[in-house]
Amino acid sequence: QIQLVESGGALVQPGGSLRLSCAGSGISLSDRTVDWYRRNPGKRRELVASMRRGGRTNYAESVKDRFIISRDNAKNTAFLQMNSLKPEDTSTYFCHVIYDWRDYWGPGTQVTVSS
């Protein structure tokens, strides 16, 4: 059974940092693209960052130079390092992979940026 579980979300002040984790089971995250998305109620889901199998990364313009996606293959875990956080980064963050033409999502982790 394939599962993704995010963690690391919290309440943080503007300018602060957080590191989100996405632990995979039943699937090797190193063998495929791993994405981080975020979604707020009533708004469209936004792709925040992606890391391809070979390590190539892509970022949304809104987070470029502030967020870093990475992966620890030994722990089968992906990370999203978020720096210089802004109130507009407040959202529920999800990790996502595609396997055998199916989408797999974790339950999400809440990030709130507020003073």
Average pLDDT, the chain: 96
* Cα–Cα distance, 106 to 108 (Å, whole number): 5
**Residue corresponding to tokens 């990475």:** 70
Q: How many CA atoms lie within 13 A of 72 on its CB side?
A: 10
| pLDDT > 90? residue 41 | no
| pLDDT > 90? residue 37 | yes
pLDDT in tens, 55-83: 999 999 999 999 999 999 999 999 999 99
| pLDDT > 90? residue 10 | yes
